[in-house]
């Protein structure tokens, strides 16, 4: 039977006005719950380790509570912030792959949060909170945004991430992946094998085994109705320095020279053929090199 849902116990940070700032699920699992929703848990429902994390942080004006979240059908849109965080955890724990679950409404379900070394805070009262928190020492603010850093919630096995800021929660990284300081991987994006990422992967982009996203490169899946459809860079590909691939999936064993901008409307000459728009897919085993009169000169890979 196909597993369609998920369930997890976690710790949520809830602001004084009821805003869900985040939810951490240490051991999410695929399951088949009958209903979608989140309930608070009592002391009898928790292990001693999780129970120690339940408390009122008066300095941050935040309560840490234990919750259990269930999603009956992962193909349905996101319902709330707890639901959104569980889907992000499923991706980063490698329980589901990008594109296999719905992320419709995910970003809108999340609040803007001030991410600090003391925990998440509301932006509206943060300067007041900062003054109180300084009694605990220096405050580091990592950013103000909706989706946090993956490594604060999940550390996948066998990956190298040079800078925590460069990978969002919800990234799917296979063992052997290297993300260097100039690389970036968004949520619902990632790698399917040992890859070298020194470029940017937007939400919706996946990279096949053995590929290289060189320094300054980017792979961008344009949003359609606020959702970025899955776009892929195939196996054993190289996307050259400062090359942008926008809305084009790339087949296996392709090489894109440095400094190119590739879209479905880009004119390409394959061999001796007349120039034509590339379209949404670049077939395997092609090299896109320099331009002559704005037209890419291409050749098969030897």
CATH number of the domain to which 275 belongs? 2.160.10.10
Name the E strands within 32-183.
Answer: 37-40, 55-57, 62-71, 113-116, 119-121, 141-145, 160-161, 178-179
User: Is 145 domain-assigned?
Assistant: no
Q: What is the reported pLDDT for 301?
A: 52
Same domain, 158 and 292: yes
**Residue where a domain terminates, one of 86, 109, 132:** 109
Q: What is the reported pLDDT for 226?
A: 77
* Alpha-carbon torsion angle 147, 148, 154, 156, nearest 10: 80
User: Is 131 domain-assigned?
Assistant: no
Q: What is the reported pLDDT for 9?
A: 98
Burial label for 150, CB within 10 Å (0-12, 13-18, 19+), is buried
Same domain, 154 and 13: no
* Alpha-carbon torsion angle 185, 81, 87, 196, nearest 10: 10
Which residue segment(s) compose the domain that 27 sits in? 5-109
Q: Which two tokens stand for residue 54?
A: 């339940």
Cα separation, 65 vs 56, in Å, equals 9
User: Is 259 domain-assigned?
Assistant: yes
Same domain, 215 and 94: no
Cα separation, 200 vs 61, in Å, equals 36
Catalytic residue positions, numbered: 198
Q: What is the reported pLDDT for 232?
A: 98
pLDDT block averages, 10 residues each, the chain of length 302: 86 98 98 96 92 95 98 97 99 98 96 97 96 92 98 98 98 98 98 97 98 98 88 98 97 94 89 84 89 64 50
Which candidate, 254, 262, 257, places its Cα nearest to that of 284? 254
User: Is 255 domain-assigned?
Assistant: yes
Instruction: Give the angle 36-38-39 at the CA atoms, nearest 5°.
Output: 130
Q: What is the reported pLDDT for 100?
A: 96
Q: What is the reported pLDDT for 1?
A: 45
Same domain, 225 and 278: yes
User: Is 189 domain-assigned?
Assistant: yes
Same domain, 213 and 86: no
**Residue where a domain terminates, one of 109, 134, 167:** 109
Same domain, 209 and 270: yes
Same domain, 288 and 157: yes
Same domain, 82 and 198: no
CATH number of the domain enclosing 51: 3.30.70.2010
User: Is 124 domain-assigned?
Assistant: no
User: Is 279 domain-assigned?
Assistant: yes
User: Is 139 domain-assigned?
Assistant: no
């Amino acid at each position: 039977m196909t597993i369609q849902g998920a369930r997890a116990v976690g710790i949520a940070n809830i602001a004084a006005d009821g805003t869900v700032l985040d939810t951490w699920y240490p051991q999410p699992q695929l399951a088949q719950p009958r209903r979608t929703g989140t309930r608070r848990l009592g002391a009898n429902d928790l292990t001693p380790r999780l129970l120690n994390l339940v408390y009122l942080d008066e300095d941050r004006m935040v309560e840490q509570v234990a919750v259990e979240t269930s999603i009956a059908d992962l193909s349905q849109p996101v319902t709330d912030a707890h639901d959104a965080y569980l889907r992000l955890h499923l991706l980063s724990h490698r329980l589901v792959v990008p594109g296999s679950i719905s992320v419709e409404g995910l970003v809108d379900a999340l609040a803007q949060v001030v991410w600090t070394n003391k925990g998440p805070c509301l932006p509206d009262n943060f300067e007041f909170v900062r003054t109180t928190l300084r009694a605990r020492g220096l405050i580091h603010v990592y950013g103000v945004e909706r989706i946090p850093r993956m490594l604060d919630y999940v550390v996948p096995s066998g990956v190298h991430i040079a800078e925590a800021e460069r990978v969002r929660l919800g990234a799917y990284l296979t063992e052997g992946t290297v993300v260097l300081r100039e690389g970036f991987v968004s949520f619902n994006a990632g790698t399917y094998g040992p890859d070298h990422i020194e470029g940017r992967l937007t939400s919706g982009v996946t990279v096949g085994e053995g590929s290289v996203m060189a320094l300054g490169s980017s792979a961008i899946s344009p949003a359609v109705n606020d959702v970025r459809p899955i776009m892929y860079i195939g196996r054993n590909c190289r996307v050259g320095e400062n090359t942008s691939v926008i809305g084009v999936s790339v087949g296996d064993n392709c090489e894109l020279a440095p400094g190119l901008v590739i879209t479905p409307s880009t004119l390409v000459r394959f061999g001796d053929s007349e120039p034509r728009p590339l379209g949404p897919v670049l077939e395997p085993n092609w090299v896109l090199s320099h331009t002559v009169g704005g037209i890419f000169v291409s050749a098969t890979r030897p």
